[in-house]
Amino acid sequence: MKKIILINGIKRSGKDYLGELMQELIPHSEIHKFADPIKEIIAVTFGISLDDLEVYKNNSQDYGIEIKVYPNNQPDCTLKYVNFREILQKFGTEAMKPVFGNDVWAELCLKRALEAEISIITDFRFYDEWKVVNSKDVKIFTINIFNDSLPQPDNHASERDLEDNNFKFDFYIDNTNQPNIFEDVKNIIKNILD
């Protein structure tokens, strides 16, 4: 039976690091993200690379987009400033889900994830994503990685949805102050592979 590992955590908690570590330890596993199609669309829209988008998203205090107006050849005026993390959040959640359904990104990701025997999805954020994955004939494992040294996340639905739905994880990893989580990860993998 195919297996899917869903990793959750607030922004900057170490989800990608955990996914990469697991991929190194699990032969023939692949990493996927629910947000990959969102990032691909936004990168093309703004004419930037996916690597640049990651830098801009993770350094939102330094990078953003200004919408300016130039009325009647007068000096320009900034109408709106927004950072790339907010663009990704609003596009993926507020813009696309009402039009294409709450499961649009989960369905797209799942098509890719089911091609591997074991897939690691490193950006599990919504209860609807779990419902879509759980509807298939796969074995699901959920991991929450937390880091109590980080500031509280913003109030966007992508940072609150699982908590609001009282979601219970199969495994928890404490990444506070960057401890060595290698043994914890090995124990989780042992449980997953048995």
Q: How confident is the model at residue 139 (pLDDT cuts 50, 70, 90)?
A: very high
User: C-alpha dihedral over 108, 174, 29, 121, to 10 degrees?
Assistant: 0
Q: How confident is the model at residue 156 (pLDDT cuts 50, 70, 90)?
A: confident
The two three-digit tokens of residue 3, written as one number: 């297996």
Q: Has residue 176 got a pLDDT over 80?
A: yes
Q: Over the stretch 7-55, which tens digit does the pLDDT of each residue have? A: 999 888 999 999 999 999 999 999 999 999 999 999 999 999 999 999 9
Q: Is 9:148 a contact under the CB 8 Å cutoff?
A: no
CATH superfamily of 3-46+101-193: P-loop containing nucleotide triphosphate hydrolases (3.40.50.300)
Instruction: Identify the CA nearest to 6 among candidates 57, 137, 27, 15.
Output: 15
Average pLDDT over residues 127-133: 94
Average pLDDT over residues 168-181: 91
Instruction: Identify the CA nearest to 92 among candidates 76, 71, 108.
Output: 108
**Residue 69, pLDDT score:** 87
pTM, 2 dp: 0.86
**Residue 12, pLDDT score:** 84
CA-to-CA distance for 137 and 54, rounded, in angstroms?
Answer: 33
Output the average pLDDT for the chain. 93
Q: Over the stretch 52-72, which tens digit does the pLDDT of each residue have? A: 999 999 898 899 999 888 888
